[in-house]
Structure 1
């Protein structure tokens, strides 16, 4: 089995964003510079799990787990280090040596994995080819005019890798010239197959939208006809393949999930062009499903990213119907009580693309911000569709249906607000409406809630936060201590404060002046080549406390292979979880890394003044033990006196340090 070089391991780690990997298991929210969430390694009622995108590491301020993306996968999914590297390599599309196999299981699955990688490469080739044809050939001119008419800039076209599949067959010719296997081409979904087994390009004369997975890799296409045809659908999607399952793919999810961590929500649009136009208007958290219905798999992806979803569909009757269908589908899903829903309905006759072109991006962002409404408010308006409320019979029918909708709201204050609005609008007695409401409320089935949540509307209007926690297995319990294995059900929590290491927390971690000096000096060692060289030139120097001594030796080894310090990379050098935690805590001191030469000298003086004394005490204690073994009473007396004097010196030094 091939042994991976440190350079390749670093390349694998840097190929992904640790936040993207962790967010598949833990819902993260922006707090200051870092992302925070509930720790997946222990029962965590208050978010204590911090992820640094800048430095690519995680740390829990409660259980003190810490490490790189490899450590996270190893601990949560019980992988070996080679297995974790292999998994990250797949996510980051990094090719490992052909003879590298993390274990027997990997060896058995080598062929499918190789096929997956090859299929993705085929789609990358197709994406580049279609984009080139769109932007650089006469054949792409009609498609360029269409996209320009829709308001798409060159930057947006490049951002989403849009392309054009011409009327002529080109993709098959290109891929066959590259020598790709016939069976691989058959399985790619890029071609149709005749009865005689011959392959032909699936997409002709269509604007091509690459469909990407959560890591931003193209796995399928959706092609839009430029000219209407009675024989062809307006949009044609790739069939399902080993790398594409439409139930598990969300358009623009790879980009939107990062933006959702910043503003706490995702925006669901009806179509790809809506998402792209919104992106060009500065709305970066827009997504679209693969069709008109959201699947449970897609909703599971959403709740791992955010706890709020805004549905933004067209304002016409079909758009309202689509909103109602989406609400019902989400409410019936397993994650209904984990997602807060809001509706943003555009003016009648306009989709997001048209609104942006007419009003501009700034107005669109303001509209999204100011016109959010709850599902209940939307439904009270939706029920009026097609009714003549001037007609008494239709008005009574509407009021009865509206009270039925309000009865499903769990918060009595919210119910009262809606009743007051109805009473005011139709000049009715609030008391009479309340009486009818009370009857309807009694008919409602009890709502099963895993844990008490803040008052809210039953239709997923609560603020439950998803943690993505998983219970510890036995081996982790033996390694790190016993943890409650009962699956935690998260309730809404107040927004946590930004998780930073304060000065008081830093000092509380230090036992005395000597250890504070060790901590500052070790941080300087990690960040300053000159300090490392200075210490290496001092053969008598050593740290006093074991954890800093071990980290110093690991650092010297680390810098034989690396020119610069990177916390995530160095964490891979450290096996001991306690040392990982110490190293992560030290990272909070990196603002002081650029110590002056005088400060370095002070640290060295404090450490080296105590180091010889500590070593001498150890030597005398060893000699005393040997003297006792030989029953040399005279030597025992001499060494005992000497040891008492040394302990006296140590006590005086300690008194000086604290004074």
Structure 2
């Protein structure tokens, strides 16, 4: 209880008395405390199964500490952690202190407070009383003070209205009298319960602060003359500030890992809440303020999504909201534009007509992308262009990923003509200013703190702000909202998916059929392994596929890291593949015809063009064998061309340098490294692997890659390669897998797709037709050519095909 009587305790005296109640409060709250003071930590973010916390000796049992999560505090901190009670403000006096005494079975003492705090306490008391009146029923079960007819006409159920505090009060005078009777306050009107907010011609919304306490009112006029929307008068209601209150935040803050949808009007929130949406708030028809943003960050949200009305006012508010959210590192900001062209284009109408599921399926747009797509055109370097750059640059601060920032800076530079390096320099400058402003703001709040509890709350909020600014995508990956969002994204992708091949074509139809092409990084890059014994044709397969990807896919950038071979050797192979002229002739061991000379010359030009354009770039061991050098190469390419989709080829993985490790350990370590590249950069990786347990004399199996399943786990698809002619030192004419080039037999490389975690999930054997004259793989088949088979196999196959044909017929 609070009072201004001289014989009552001051607030400070009451706080000091309450400090001794720590053990009693913990035990009364269901926490098992041992005689020595140990207990399981009460921090909700710490799942403590073995007691890690204790009441600190030598503190008169007034302080606790957890040795696992490092949280410390007193009885007020305990009340905050266990029951969510506030640590500062008038609520600390009116709610936290009395609750601690009541929980311990004691009567709260009367406290002397200042006149200003007395008014704030009275204001909260009358608004809480109004909320209780709204739910009050008479002896017959009917609501005593409110009529919900208008709310029902909007489709809102009674239980939702009563829970949220929405309704039309039947008689203003009766409301004032009832509040006075229940609270002892003689003039509720002077505390904000005014006629323009309460009455039968109004739909009243009782507004709660982020702790769930009723603090203010808003109203929509449903009949008569006057303004359509009204809010509490801040000159009367001293606990209310419209720029620091978000409708529904007390509910939404229970879901900090979810995407938070921010609506324009109170009705939007009510309709969304009734439909089952919880991670949403409403600004109440005003522009978003810094106070709103601070509340959201202190509540731990890392992804905010602005959804305002699809009209001129809503779009204007949307732009201002994006400006407010700019510059908070780690805060993801997006926009969901509502469909235009309908009579009523707000969240309330959309959900009522289409349902919550369709609303959640509406595509959201990254804030940066939204601004870029709606900016129009600029004269390069013009005043308008520079102004636009200054407006958008703070959004670059929101991402801590340097590569993503570089990509955004490149886009901004391209459309405005402002130098990319100047943009990035300004981002770095603003980042330093942002850190300084945060530190200054925290220092200013600490200087104004009037109690140790308020200092503790400020520091706790500061930790949340710091965590939000430092938070990267990993925190979002662990959330339920991310999982739900992932399903929705996948469903949208399914609906938008075009017919045909979805990855890069390899130039071989059967390989494309098995893999759905080589997955692009934008599709979620993967690792492809081609494993086999030495000289089995692993490199030939990868080099041919890599060259085809570069030639046949305009959006591919192929980086080929040839650790095993010198570029001189690769040059002959590549020219042989491109020209179809034998390598012996390109080496000048045998003379070429004029027509072959022309083909080799054209091949040289094509290879140079592919390299100049950046679509096919080869580095050999002169780049080095260290992972860091290779990663620097990839990142340098992305710095210069942020839109690049990279296929990174490693020949071969077992020669990537590590520490003084044996080959097996080095191979396992390098496998994890390339797997990480597909996630962190991202890129798609293709690599050759040495079969440690297979020396080529028998057909390889997956288990022979290494003595562990880790490499198999890291790879999305694995081909094991078998070249019988090479392995058994036989001429191609004497092996089973062969193909005919003119009158000569050529070997076929058998590649068993033994693992496939790509979209198709298929397995099978690919027979690659290797032209040993040019090292070009001229085709890839699903079966051996009939002319290469023994007579009995030809008969059996033709018979089987005839039988299957009769079924199909």
User: What TM-score range do you get, normalising by the shorter chain?
Assistant: 0.3 to 0.5
Mark the structure with the bigger radius of gyration.
Answer: 2
Structure 1 or 2: more helix by fraction: 1
| Length-normalised TM-score, structure 1 | 0.48
Greater relative contact order, per chain length (Cα 8 Å cut-off, separation 6+): 1
Greater strand percent: which structure?
Answer: 2
